[in-house]
Amino acid sequence: MKDFRKCTVYQIYPKSFYDSNGDGLGDLAGVTAKLDYIKALGVDYIWLTPFFVSPQKDNGYDVEDYYNIDPRYGTMEDFEELSAQAKKRGIRLMLDMVFNHTSSRNQWFAKAMAGDEKYKNYYIFKKGKGPGVPPTNWESKFGGSAWEYLPQMDEYYLHLFDVSQPDLNWDNEEVRREVAKVVRFWMDKGVQGFRFDVINLISKGAFEDDDQGDGRRFYTDGPKIHEYLKELNALSFGQNADIITVGEMSSTTMENCFKYAGADSHELSMVFNFHHLKVDFMGNEKWVLVPFDFKKLKDILFDWQVNMSDHNAWNAVFWCNHDQPRVVSRFGDEGIYWKESAKMLATVIHCLRGTPYIYQGEELGMTNPGFTDISQYRDVESLNHFQILQDKGLNKKCAYDILSVHSRDNSRTPVQWTDEENGGFTTGTPWIEVNKNYKTINAASQVDDPDSVFNYYRQLVQLRKDNDVIAYGDVVPVDPHHPKIFAYERNYEGRQVLVVCNFYKTPEIWDLGRDLAGYKVILSNYASHDFSGTAIKLKPYESIIFEKI
C-alpha cells in the first residue's frame, strides 16, 4: 500500500498539457507522450482534471456523461493506454469527480426538463417567491443569480456555478447511488485516486435568503455532508484501502476538515482548503486589486498545519491549480529573482505537513501570461466578471488589470515544452494563447540543468520520500510574527528539520536565537550561505532547509 504522506501529486489540466494530434487542444495521448518527463520529476500520482464527455462550458467541470471520454481528449483506448504506461512507471492515476452538479446536457437533466418526475428529483427545482423573484437571493460563484427560471415549468433550478451546471439533489438516495456507481466504474478500470470537486457543497440546508452574503452559509459544509461522505466511502472507494481521495472544500472550516480528513473518519484521505489563497482578496471578493497580506498568509497556513496535526487529520498542501494564478507572479518575482523566488515558494509548501500538489508548469516556474484583451480570455468566470466589473462602473482598463491578476486563465495557458513555436505544445493553433515567455521558460532548457526550477522540485519530491521527518513530523512555527520570513521546524523521532525562507526581494539579517553551528544545510536555492552564531543574513528570496546535526 502506498503511504500518501510520502507522496507528491502532479496535476494535469489535459486541455493545456500537450497536444498529440495538432488540433490545438491537449489530449490523453499527449499525457502518455510526456510520462517520462513526469516520471523524472519523481511524483507518485497524476491528477487528471475532467476529460469526460462535456460541452466544455467550464472546461469539463460540466459533465454530460460520466462513463465516456470526450472525443476532444481521446478514446477509452487512449485512457487505458495511459493507465498501462503510467503503471509501468509506477505512477498512479487520480480522476476528478464532479458530483455537486452535472452539465445541463447530461441525460438526467434532459429527462428532468422533459418533465420526468424521477429525474426532476435528481436536481433542485423550486417555485419562485413571486413573479420574477427567484426562490432565494443566492448568487452563482460565476456571477449573477444561482437560480435559472424555466417558463415551461414555471420553476427555477439551482446552479451554484454556471447556468449550464445544475446542482444535483444529494438528498435523493438514487443520486447518491448513481454517484457511487460512477466511482466504482473507474475503480474497476484501475484508478487509484479520486479528487472530488466542491464536495462540501453537496448537502444543501435551508433554502432561505441570505441577508449577510451570497448564500454560501446555507450549503457550505451542509447539514448531512459527513453522513453523505461516509456513505460514498462505504459504497465505493472505501472498499479498497489503497485508494487515495482528496476533497476540494470551498469556504470550509477547520472543524469540518478534522472530520473530512481525520485518520479514523472514514470520509476522505485529505482536503484542499483555500483560505491561504484569499490573502489577496477583500474578504471573499476576489475581483479587486489588493497587495497580498504576508502576515495573514503565514497565520492561516500555520493555524491549519498545527491544528490539523493535533486532530490527526491530513492536508493537501499547494499554491497552484487550474483555478489559481501562477504563484511566482502572485507571491514571488517575475523579474531578476524569478528562479530564486520560484524555488523559495516551492520550499515553503513542500516541507509542510501534508501531501504536496504540483500543478503543471509550476515545476518550470511558469508565470501569468499578462493578457491585455478580452479576446485572449476563455474562462466563463473571467468573461462573466469582465462584464460585471464594468456594470459596476469600472473602466475597461481597471477591469483588465483585475483580470490579469486574478483570472483562472492565468494558469490555463499551455505548458511550455520547448522554445519552438507555441512552446512546442501544439503544431496547430492553441485553444488559448501560449505565454510569450516560452523561449526562456520551457521544459527542454530545464530538465538537464541541475540548477533549474524543475530539478529543485525534483529534489523536494525526493526529500519527502527520504526523510520521515518531512513526511510525518510535527510543525512548529518559528518567529511566526516576523514580517518577511517564513520559518518553521519539523520534528520527528529525535530528528529536526528547520526551514527558513525570505519571502521578499530585500536581504534580511535575522537573529534566530539558536546557534546555527548545530545545523547543516540540506537544500537551498543559493550555492553559498551567510550565517554565524545565531545570526543569518538571507539574500533575496533565499530559502534554506537545515537539518539539526
Q: Active-site positions? A: 197, 248
Regarding 411 and contact with ligand TEU (CB under 6 A), the answer is: no
The contact pattern for ligand TEU, residues 416-435, with x = CB under 6 A and - = no contact, is --------------------
Separation in Å, CA 59 to CA 23, 52, 118, 372, 381: 16, 10, 28, 22, 11
Residues pairing with 95 in the sheet:
48, 194
* Nearest residue (CB) to ligand TEU, 323 versus 468: 323
* Nearest residue (CB) to ligand TEU, 322 versus 353: 322
* Nearest residue (CB) to ligand TEU, 248 versus 542: 248
Q: How far is the CB of 320 from ligand TEU (least distance, A)?
A: 12
Could you say which of 15, 57, 141, 353 contacts ligand TEU (CB under 6 A)? Answer: 141
Regarding 167 and contact with ligand TEU (CB under 6 A), the answer is: no
CB 419 within 8 A of CB 335: no
Q: Which of residues 144-163 bind ligand TEU (CB under 6 A)?
A: 161
253 vs 352: CA distance, rounded Å: 20
Residue 538 phi/psi, 5-degree rounding, is -95, 135
386 vs 384: CA distance, rounded Å: 6
Regarding 58 and contact with ligand TEU (CB under 6 A), the answer is: yes
Regarding 446 and contact with ligand TEU (CB under 6 A), the answer is: no
User: From its phi and psi, is residue 67 left (phi > 0), alpha (psi between -120 and 50) or beta?
Assistant: alpha
* Nearest residue (CB) to ligand TEU, 319 versus 417: 319
Regarding 198 and contact with ligand TEU (CB under 6 A), the answer is: yes
Separation in Å, CA 413 to CA 148, 193, 441, 527: 31, 25, 13, 32
155-158 and 316-317 beta bridge pairing: unpaired
User: From its phi and psi, is residue 198 left (phi > 0), alpha (psi between -120 and 50) or beta?
Assistant: left
Please name the amino acid found at residue 437. N
* Nearest residue (CB) to ligand TEU, 60 versus 356: 60
* Nearest residue (CB) to ligand TEU, 248 versus 363: 248
Which residue's CB atom is positioned nearest to ligand TEU?
61
* Nearest residue (CB) to ligand TEU, 226 versus 408: 408
Q: How far is the CB of 15 from ligand TEU (least distance, A)?
A: 12
Regarding 98 and contact with ligand TEU (CB under 6 A), the answer is: yes
Q: Which of residues 448-477 bind ligand TEU (CB under 6 A)?
A: none
Closest CA to 260 of 237, 230, 240, 305: 230
CB 40 within 8 A of CB 50: no
Could you say which of 10, 13, 45, 61 contacts ligand TEU (CB under 6 A)? Answer: 61
Q: How far is the CB of 198 from ligand TEU (least distance, A)?
A: 5
Regarding 249 and contact with ligand TEU (CB under 6 A), the answer is: no
Regarding 86 and contact with ligand TEU (CB under 6 A), the answer is: no
Regarding 197 and contact with ligand TEU (CB under 6 A), the answer is: yes
Could you say which of 323, 401, 433, 547 contacts ligand TEU (CB under 6 A)? Answer: 323
Regarding 64 and contact with ligand TEU (CB under 6 A), the answer is: no
**Residue 9: how many CA atoms within 13 Å on its side-chain side?**
33
Q: How far is the CB of 323 from ligand TEU (least distance, A)?
A: 4
The contact pattern for ligand TEU, residues 375-394, with x = CB under 6 A and - = no contact, is ------x-------------
49 vs 64: CA distance, rounded Å: 15
74 vs 35: CA distance, rounded Å: 17
316-317 and 65-69 beta bridge pairing: unpaired
CB 267 within 8 A of CB 259: yes
Regarding 286 and contact with ligand TEU (CB under 6 A), the answer is: yes
The contact pattern for ligand TEU, residues 475-514, with x = CB under 6 A and - = no contact, is ----------------------------------------
Cell of 80: 487505458
- Torsion angle, alpha carbons of 480, 320, 313, 50, to 10: 170
Q: Which residues bind ligand TEU (CB under 6 A)?
A: 58, 61, 98, 141, 161, 197-198, 248, 250, 286, 322-323, 381, 408
